[in-house]
Amino acid sequence: MIGLSQKFKEGSKQNRSLLIGFITAGDPSLEITPKLANAMVKGGVDVIELGIPFSDPIADGPTIQSSSTRSLLKGTTPKNILEMSKNIVNDLKVPVVLLTYYNTIMNMGVENFLDLAHKSNIAGVVSPDLPPEEGENYRNLARERSIDTIFLASPATNNERLDRIIDSTSGFLYMVSLFGVTGARDIFDNYSSNAAKRIVQRVNKRVPVAIGFGISKPEHVSHFTNIGVDGIIVGSAFIKIIENNLNDTKTMLEQINNLSRELSNSTTIN
């Protein structure tokens, strides 16, 4: 299995940022999710981030909320997703990261969840509502199973707390690019760019930095790549394609592949 650390080192040697593609597992079905991942990777996505659907999210905008609803209505469960994830890792040879709210982990039992994740070759887990101050026990259990614990920072994170997050996170630091929830944006305010520059400078290569929320276009990818972030996370733009083609899987996969290629072509540092 290729870990996140190795993948980011490969990106650095190639003078580019990694493209991390997010989709909600089970949307539009568990059978189609691996096909979506395959289309993304063939288009240039370096890391697959799979969302475990949750009924009451705190960080997701309308697009991702709708995808979670569609997935839950199909009967998708965390165990289903973990079983499917192993096939994605084995077939595509890319790191798979899970995004899940901590309620799901607690409901399954922390060690049980992590044991299943380890068996499925999951590279890392993002839990938006788990702060580093409360995550030491979970982080230690995950480390024992070679699973990275990825914490988030935002433009509002001050330097003192940012240092704590840097010391706690592994795999990468997930930088939230803006104030608010997920969802594609047309433009980014200056505060997003300034915050990215500050966080990249503060991290100072201690851990890779990947930025997400709102990024949906090649020009967004190029902009943040050249600020110096190590990874670009795109989610809602992919999910919008799924939503618009629920009855046409062929077109869905073609458009997912095309978007992946367009975004990947913008990840080279100029």
pLDDT confidence of residue 181: 44
Residue 196 is assigned to a structural domain of this protein: yes
The boundaries of the domain holding residue 71 are 4-264
Residue 269 is assigned to a structural domain of this protein: no
Residue 256 is assigned to a structural domain of this protein: yes
Residue 195 is assigned to a structural domain of this protein: yes
Residue 270 is assigned to a structural domain of this protein: no
Judge contact between 91 and 121, C-beta under 8 A.
no
Residue 24 is assigned to a structural domain of this protein: yes
Strand order across the 124-126 sheet: 148-150, 124-126, 96-99, 47-51, 18-24, 231-234, 209-212, 173-176, 152-153
Q: How far apart are CA 181 and CA 193, in angstroms?
A: 17
Residue 124: which of 225, 18, 266 has the closest Cα?
A: 18
User: The domain that contains 115 carries what CATH number?
Assistant: 3.20.20.70
Q: How many domains does the chain have?
A: 1
Q: How far apart are CA 103 and CA 26, in angstroms?
A: 19
Residue 133 is assigned to a structural domain of this protein: yes
Q: How far apart are CA 182 and CA 154, in angstroms?
A: 13
- Exactly one of 46, 60, 148, 230 is catalytic; name it: 60
Q: Look up 136 and say whether it is catalytic.
A: no
**Cα three-residue angle 164-165-167, rounded to 5 degrees:** 65
Tokens of 101: 């709210």
Q: Look up 49 and say whether it is catalytic.
A: yes
pLDDT confidence of residue 178: 67
Global pTM value:
0.94
pLDDT tens per residue across all 270 residues of the chain: 679 999 999 999 999 999 999 999 999 999 999 999 999 999 999 999 999 998 776 656 688 889 999 999 999 999 999 999 999 999 999 999 999 999 999 999 999 999 999 999 999 999 999 999 999 999 999 999 999 999 999 999 999 999 999 999 999 999 998 654 444 444 456 778 888 999 999 999 999 999 998 899 999 999 999 999 999 999 999 999 999 999 999 999 999 999 999 999 999 998
Judge contact between 55 and 7, C-beta under 8 A.
no
- Exactly one of 27, 46, 49, 230 is catalytic; name it: 49
Residue 198 is assigned to a structural domain of this protein: yes
